[in-house]
Amino acid sequence: MRTGIRTSIAAAVAATLVVGLAGAATAAPAPGVVTELLGSALVRFPEFAPLPDSAGLGAPSMVRGVLRDPAGEPLRGAQVLLAAWPRNEELAKLPIGGEFELIPLARTVTDRSGRYDLRMGLTPALVALAGANGIDIELNVFHGGRHYVYLSQVHPDLKAATWAGSALTHALVPAVRERADGALDLVLDPATGEDLNAAAPVALAAGEPPIDERPITRGDLPQLGMSCTNWKLLGTQKVMTTAASALIRNGATVVTRYDEGSSTASTTGLSIDGGISFGINGSRERSITTGAEFHPVTAARGSALSREFQVQIVQEVKRRVCHGNHFQRYKVQYLTQPSEITGGGDVIASRLPQWTCHEDNIADAGGLKAVFTTDARAATYSSAFTFTPLGRASFTGAAVSGYSKTVRIEFRFQKGRRGGWCGDSALPTKPDQRLQGFQL
């Protein structure tokens, strides 16, 4: 097993990204507004210091929104740093122990309303980072002595020369709300942010982690001038994740397809207590390259069957070591994120409660053979997967799939018998429905 391999993508891309920052400067910042990179943000991410504050740039907006605390109060004066990850298809080849560095893109400071706007031009080098599901981005926010980390994705729109967020990923995290104008509002709970002034966590509980975690050695410790931009891959786990569900009754059959190109977004997890617990800190979407088939499932006459259709997602566990706020103190952050969908086809009894149709949500399908919906209508599965990243506490995450031509749930009915279908909260053709098929 090769170790200590560091990708060189970051250096090559960073050199060309300077071009992306060009653009006419906008109005000068208001008096009293701090524009330099300061404090812990500067200590942990000095590479961002040369970047100008996005507030003064005319480049297209890459990520923007409002930061608030759980009480709804705006986070004023927060330092917000935006970085890209190397292309996911390249990172998937990283061996255990391999490392990569974040690619600094933009930085800014939130205004009195908690607003931030991170700007970046669509340079060829940056657009080249876009994989099948866009560019993986990482937001690092510093406010009130805490460091927050949020993961998401953006897509380059070359025709319009703008950036777009990812609808699937934004749908997943309760603290996130994507506005109609594409802005990304975040609620940052101090309980989920790393306390930069706290001492390092106490010794971890004993146990054999499933991942062969190398102990942190002197070589891992951040040296003066080194930053927090380096992530190391500790290991991977294949996790079965619910991608779709269906309920059938009384002789109806369900046929589910998850063809090549189908995608599922799953939440990412961050641990700031040495791996004792993981909290949701964003989400990322991945697409399958080979397709997964599920066997048809038929409910017996007079009975109901509820099934979840699962795909196999490779979850990576990563680690980085960063300076604390005290000399020679360091902190460790662990991260889980989906790497790729590698197959699947598990059909399990659904953990979701069975539900009955309200009569006004039923659509009678007459003497049809089959009915299905193919638009991007997805239901979010809040407990779509559970695994133990480090063999200690478990992490339960959510997932949502983009129903499309490739992700399809089809209800089939027996000849000579009338079929019907319904949605759990509206007619089955309306968005975000869990579906039920039955024979009358």
Partner 1 sequence: MTSENSTDLSPGDAATRVARWRLGGVIALVAALVVTVVVITGRSDDKLSASDPTTVYGGLELTVGQKFTMASFPIDHPGAELRMIRVEALTSPNVEYVGAYALWPRDLARGSLAIAPGFPAKELRMVREFGAAITAEETLRQGASGGYLSASVAIGFRLVSGDVGAVNGIRVVYTVNGRTRHMDFRHAATICASKAACKAADDSKWSDDVLRQFDLVPGGN
Q: Residue 420 is inside which H or E element, if any?
A: strand 419-423
Give the one residue of 229, 245, 373, 406 binding partner 1; rule: CB under 8 A: 373
Residue placing its CB nearer to partner 1 in the complex, 277 or 404: 404
**Residue 131 contacts residue 87 (beta carbons within 8 Å):** yes
What is the closest distance, in whole angstroms, from the C-beta atom of residue 394 to partner 1 in the complex? Answer: 35
Helical H segments across 147-209, by residue range = 167-170
Give the one residue of 52, 363, 380, 382 binding partner 1; rule: CB under 8 A: 363
Lookup: tokens for 368: 């049809």
* From 43-51, 305-313, 324-332, 365-373, span contacting partner 1 (CB under 8 A): 365-373
Residue 362 makes contact with partner 1 by CB under 8 A: yes
Q: Helices then strands (H, E): number in the chain?
A: 5, 26
Give the one residue of 38, 198, 368, 393 binding partner 1; rule: CB under 8 A: 368
Residue 425 makes contact with partner 1 by CB under 8 A: yes
Residue 167 makes contact with partner 1 by CB under 8 A: no
φ, ψ of residue 287 in degrees (nearest 5)? -115, 150
Report how far apart, in Å, the C-alpha atoms of 255 and of each of 12, 247, 345, 433 are: 47, 11, 12, 17
Residue 435 makes contact with partner 1 by CB under 8 A: no
Residue 427 makes contact with partner 1 by CB under 8 A: yes
Give the one residue of 80, 187, 248, 371 binding partner 1; rule: CB under 8 A: 371
Interaction pattern, residues 247-276, with partner 1; x per rule: CB under 8 A: --------x-x-------------------
φ, ψ of residue 422 in degrees (nearest 5)? -150, 165
The SS3 call for residue 248 is strand
Residue placing its CB nearer to partner 1 in the complex, 289 or 414: 414
User: Distance between CA 426 and CA 423 in Å, rounded?
Assistant: 5
Residue 353 makes contact with partner 1 by CB under 8 A: no
Residue 326 makes contact with partner 1 by CB under 8 A: no
Number of residues in the chain: 440
User: Distance between CA 386 and CA 371 in Å, rounded?
Assistant: 32
Residue 436 makes contact with partner 1 by CB under 8 A: no
Residue 293 makes contact with partner 1 by CB under 8 A: no
- Sequence-distant (6+) residues with CB within 8 A of 217 are none
Give the one residue of 301, 329, 351, 430 binding partner 1; rule: CB under 8 A: 430
Lookup: tokens for 218: 């002197």
**Residue 85 contacts residue 131 (beta carbons within 8 Å):** no
Residue placing its CB nearer to partner 1 in the complex, 208 or 360: 360
Q: Which residue ranges make up the site for partner 1 (CB under 8 A)?
A: 255, 257, 358-375, 377, 405, 410, 412, 420-422, 425-430
